[in-house]
Amino acid sequence: FSFEEAAVARRLAELHQAGCTLQTIERRLDDLRRLRPDVERPLADPTLIVEGRRLLLRREDDVAEPHGQLLLEFEQADDDSSDPPAIVALTDFDAGADGDDDHGEHVAQVRYVERLWNDAIVCEDRGDYVQAIGIYRAVLMAGLGTAEVQFALAEALYREGELEAARERYYVALEMDEEFVEARANLGCVLAEMGDYELAAATFQGALRRHPDFADVHFHLADTCERLGDALQAAEHYRVFLALAPDSPWASTARDRLASPDRLQVVSANDSIS
């Protein structure tokens, strides 16, 4: 491997370990290509920083997200610390603001929002989704109304069983970023679970038009087609799913249904899709 290939492999591994799906990485790379069309291999760019699930670009004395949003980097107080610097989005930064007082107040607000976000993640990790929901709402009230925050709130609402509220947040995330394929896929799952199978199928199809190799969506669409009584479409998507993800935990279910044509029928609406 060349040094360039090693850098690409390392960054892909870091993003995967942080929980990024292939579709999320592709979206981030698309943003990078738009911002830096002169760079042939964005993941090999030495100015690229991997921070959790985010790709960031160092530009002279500041840091920016792939879509160009300026970020603020807080230096560690202890130079010997092995922890990376905290990097947060300046979502409402006013470049023309006058005076150190205004800037200091804004920095305090950004730090507060970053602390809220981290607290929400900790709550989710321990299964306290009610608390996480409240914190994500506080993040929104503080002005960080990005598609990613709307998606995170939708996920917490779904895990807490608040399907209608989760559905609306997924819609908001997609209104803000129509290419947010994970939001589209999860919206489809929520719609199917609520019994709106036709709209769920259309939502899954929309996700596949953008990312035709999204294996889980093929499985969910196949399952939904069964519920709609469309055995041929169900079989087609089960086959594609197995070709893309033969080792998936759902692979045995797909194989069983393909092996028994009589099982490719309308599934009980009481069965869970996700």
Tell the residue number behind the tokens 């602390």, with chain if given.
115
Q: Binning pLDDT at 50, 70 and 90, where does residue 196 land?
A: very high
Residue 74's region, left for phi above 0, alpha for psi from -120 to 50, else beta, is beta
> When comparing pLDDT for 22 and 126, which is higher?
126
pLDDT of residue 74: 38
Q: Each residue of 142-155: pLDDT tens digit?
A: 777 788 889 999 99
Question: What is the average pLDDT score of the chain?
Answer: 76
- Fold match between domain 99-178 and domain 195-274: yes
pLDDT of residue 113: 75
Q: Is the model's pLDDT at 177 over the cut of 60?
A: yes
Domain 195-274 has what CATH class? mainly alpha
Superfamily for domain range 99-178: Tetratricopeptide repeat domain (1.25.40.10)
- Give residue limits of the domains in the chain: 1-90, 99-178, 195-274
Q: Binning pLDDT at 50, 70 and 90, where does residue 114 land?
A: confident
> When comparing pLDDT for 164 and 272, which is higher?
164
Nearest to 160 by CA among 140, 141, 184, 135: 135
Is 0.75 surpassed by the pTM of this model? no
Give CA–CA dist 227/196, Å, rounded.
Answer: 10
Q: Is the model's pLDDT at 173 over the cut of 90?
A: yes
> When comparing pLDDT for 116 and 102, which is higher?
116
pLDDT of residue 246: 94
Q: Is the model's pLDDT at 89 over the cut of 90?
A: no
Q: Which two tokens stand for residue 67?
A: 């879509």
